[in-house]
């Protein structure tokens, strides 16, 4: 197995473990944005890092709500956001100030 393939498998395993563990007792996760949204952005998704403690980055793309998008427009990456988990659907609910 190539080193890159092994890293991909470790990433997927790490991601699924984080999602399972965070979704066990509640449906709210705090994450950090992994990209910025320009003021004129028309994107409906954003990349977030689920690893808030800085161990192994786990970046996934999630949907934006209207209010979450408005709060993130023009902000730099690294903003703390509250994600709502509804089954297999994840969305940015709000920004932590």
Q: What is the pLDDT of residue 88?
A: 74
Handedness of CA 27, 66, 11, 97 (dihedral sign): negative
CATH 2.40.50, applies to 3-95: yes
30 forms beta bridges with 82
Do 49 and 36 contact (CB within 8 A), yes or no?
no
Burial label for 62, CB within 10 Å (0-12, 13-18, 19+), is buried
What digits encode the pLDDT tens for the residues 13-72? 776 666 666 555 668 888 999 999 999 999 999 999 988 776 777 888 999 999 999 999
């Amino acid at each position: 197995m190539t080193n890159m393939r092994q890293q991909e498998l470790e990433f997927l395993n790490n991601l699924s473990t984080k999602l399972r563990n965070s979704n066990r007792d509640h449906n709210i996760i705090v994450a950090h944005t992994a990209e910025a949204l320009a003021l004129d952005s028309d994107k409906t998704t954003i990349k977030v890092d689920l690893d808030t403690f800085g161990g192994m980055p786990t970046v996934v793309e999630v949907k934006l709500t209207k209010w979450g998008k408005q709060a993130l427009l023009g902000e730099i990456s690294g903003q703390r956001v509250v994600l709502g988990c509804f089954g297999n659907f994840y969305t940015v609910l709000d920004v932590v100030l």
